[in-house]
A and B are shown apart, each in its own frame.
Chain A
Amino acid sequence: MTEPKLGAYICKGCGISERLNCDQLAQVASSEGKAAVVRQHPFLCSAAGVEMIRSDMAGQGINQVVIAACSRRAKTEAFAFDTVTTSRANLREGVIWIRPDHEDNQETTQEMAADYVRMACAEVQQMRQPGGNTETGVNKQILVVGGGISGLTAALESAAAGYHVLLVEKSAALGGWASKLYRSIPTREPYADPQDTGVELLIHRVQTDPQITVYLNSYCNRTSGAPGQFSIDISTESGATHTVNAGAIIQASGFTRYDASQLPELGYGQSPDIIDQAELERLASAAGTEGSIVRPSDQAEVKAVVFVQCAGQRSNQPGHLPYCSGFCCNAAIKQAMYFKDNNPSVDTVILYTDLRTPGNGEDFYRSAQRKGITFSKGKVTSVVPGKQGAEVFFDDLILDTQTSIQADLVVLATGQIANAGIDVEHVTSAEEPTDKTAISVLNLSYRQGPDVPQLKHGFADSHFICFPYETRRTGIYACGPVRRPMDMAQARIDATGAALKAIQAVENAVLGRAAHPRSGDLSFPSFRKEGCTQCKRCTVECPFGAIDEDENRYPLFNESRCRRCGTCMGACPVRVISFQNYSVDTVGQQIKHVEIPDEMDEKPRILILACENDAYPALDMAAHNRLSYSAWVRVIPVRCLGSVNTIWITDALNSGYDGIMLLGCKKGDNYQCHFVKGSEVAHDRMSKISDTLEQLQLEKERVAIHEVEITDIQRLPALINDYADVIEKIGMNPFKGF
């Protein structure tokens, strides 16, 4: 290995030289930062500035570069040197833009800048150039599980992009629920009438696509491997099994319809004239375009039909679904039109508490009103079957009365239940799943369980806002009603999105790079077996199930499944996990190289570990808005709060920092954490840190953790300033100078 040689480059542009003494910073870089070459440039990101750096790399052998200029999030293209390690000292967004330009601040502002130069020099010396994961697979096939609308769409979209697809469907035919519908809700202008489902065409296209191989009556009996190298045993009903390989998996396993016999108060099962929406589709298909829909009890034409919305849904009663299935209001409108379009004199009443018509459903709703379908806001209390038909009792929520309607046919809008497999987080032991009826969809051979983790109400976990198709198993993408309730139009959009993610995953995997959200990252975790105590924390805390166990019970990293969050690194009590360019030392050395003033100086130091996904950008944006925050803080961006190892906290306190703030994303059911669980585990770890604080006899306020959003541009500086006040109030850390 060649000798490390550090070059520090200080930009004087963007007002930096007007606010800071750049010569002093250069001095710091060379004497304390051990930079072999230090240069200042009036406009570092310009072609000339970059050229200056490149010629030092070539001529002087500079292989560690410190850019003391703007935020690491700015000018990334100008300062992308892929043969050397690079660190950025954030003098612009981190210092001059967040400090008021005033003589009184001059000293503290300069100190801030000098510290950032020290930190960058310290960091870059610990970094190694990442070379990419070498344990890569090369398989680019895409396995699609489920042959309904979502699966068919995902298969076709992947094939259209040039990827070979393996489509596994457990039943004997493609089409799923869609093929059982008479018509679908409209997806085209003017959104006024039911339209053909289009599923026949999709099936035909899939069957005739040379890029798609279909396995009917089949399921995934065993799934192992990682992106680019999955291996799947496909078994048929008859028991035959054969093994296929795939680079990524799209799980489009759809939903099961809620069992309406759990709704005796609504009369289901007590009369053939009380049915659910799926059964009405059957009646409508039977009637076809010519005939009228007849009621099952006596085959008489239906003259009055009542639709009961939210049947066993959006309810906290045991056995009911707490959520809204989202499709059933539009479906009821569509079904009411089956009657009205055939015979306008049929009375069609939709009883709802809130009518929810996503997509272009509002136009569809309007069309239904024009057709004379009656919408009444009422809460149905019971449905009482008669000899024929039934009487629907309800509280009229507008007229504030209890009333009833007689109907020939009553249609209950029941919900969707996700086919997400086994809830792996509630498995007590692998042999004894809590929900005994659940059947695994993927049968993953992962240490963490056979299916993708679920979030709420049995739906597959996926990042609701930012990465809707990402499950917590890298390379496996969920789409359609398995990840949240939805209708066909939404499922098709979903499937298209998931197909694109799967394609991205296989392409990255082949190159040994990370998948989303650090897409393209070449670093990966490595682990020093000698130090490992087999505590298993990394295998448990990795949000993505990347770490299995080897025969000797040591963690076994599947680099291709890894998303590079560093949560394992944060978890490891003996600190044997690291990335080439991000490790306990790259951050630890930054912490150590901040100059801690003497207690008498009355200049506290506050360490901020800020998540680079939301908190750090929010700080940058605060700077763009010229908001100011305390000069006592020193900010270090981290990949995820999950990667924060408690050693950083204890070291910082031991070396005299007065306070530590951790800024991460929202956790919990409505998490925004880019690595799903990172923020949550960080909170967990910090809740335990109070013991440490106690041991050190320090106030618990010295460590604070906050959930922030990328939009917290105003809030963040205020949060920091308030914290600085708190620290000033409780006084200096007594460990200073030890």
Chain B
Amino acid sequence: MAKKEYSYFPGCSSVRSASASNYMVSVNTMCEKLEIALNEIPDWNCCGASIGYAEGGELPRHVLNARNIALSGKHNPGQDIVATCAACWLGTRETQERLNEDPDMLTDTRTVLQEGNLQDYYSQNIPVRHMVEVMIEDIGYEGLAKPVVKPLKGIKFAGYVGCQTNRPFGIDGESFENPRYLDKMVEIVGGEAITDYEKKVTCCGGALAFSEPEKSQKQIHDIVEAAYDQGADMIVTPCPVCQMNVEVYQGQINKRYGTNFSMPVTYYSQILAVAYGSTGKEAGLKGNIIRAKALEKIANK
């Protein structure tokens, strides 16, 4: 079978030595096993993230994303854009929708893109997709199950979908209030999914984890607490912002709330990579601050 090729937009957190570098590592491993070829968009830039709006306004924000779309068209023509970060995916897709709706904005964007001679490469209809979509729609659950060699027997996962992978676009066929694909993935790799995990789609505070730590940590506290209450061994998520927020603040939350949290937070790509027989290193497990020991054990078997 020929490899499926995609134009890859990793995003700022998914580069070496950045906050989601372990996500990047595990995605690469997983894609290899699934015969997915990721062609990184050369010289891609930041999507503006969910906080860019305040200083960036509208057009500059759209220009950021339009530039990436144009670069993709230029260097990886005909390939769907795939992002692994929820915010990157959301921002790029939002820009494309907005420019499709607003001809003035589109003209302005094209004008600006002239600065890099990119105006003709901007495409109004190149699909902008999340890695999860590629997996579900192009590979399919059956396809995802095929490479499993080490089922994750006995591990209970709280599938934390969070916000931006889920809203406003979400994954086709899933509901906003109770998306199920993450649970299905967990089940495919032989883990136990807590399908009624209460905080499945609760906001972790996003970018406000920096600026409004108290309020955000209340959110994170509830997310972790619910995972404990419902008997989870670890949390699994598709979003690097979620992963980072929910994992790294547990120490501060313990101080603030007098709790004793130490709940590993993994990526779907990590659990798939391990189930597909990768080593802990290949699955980026070393990158988890709170070590996912149960997963490491299986990986090292």
Q: A–B direct touch, CB within 8 Å, in complex? A: no
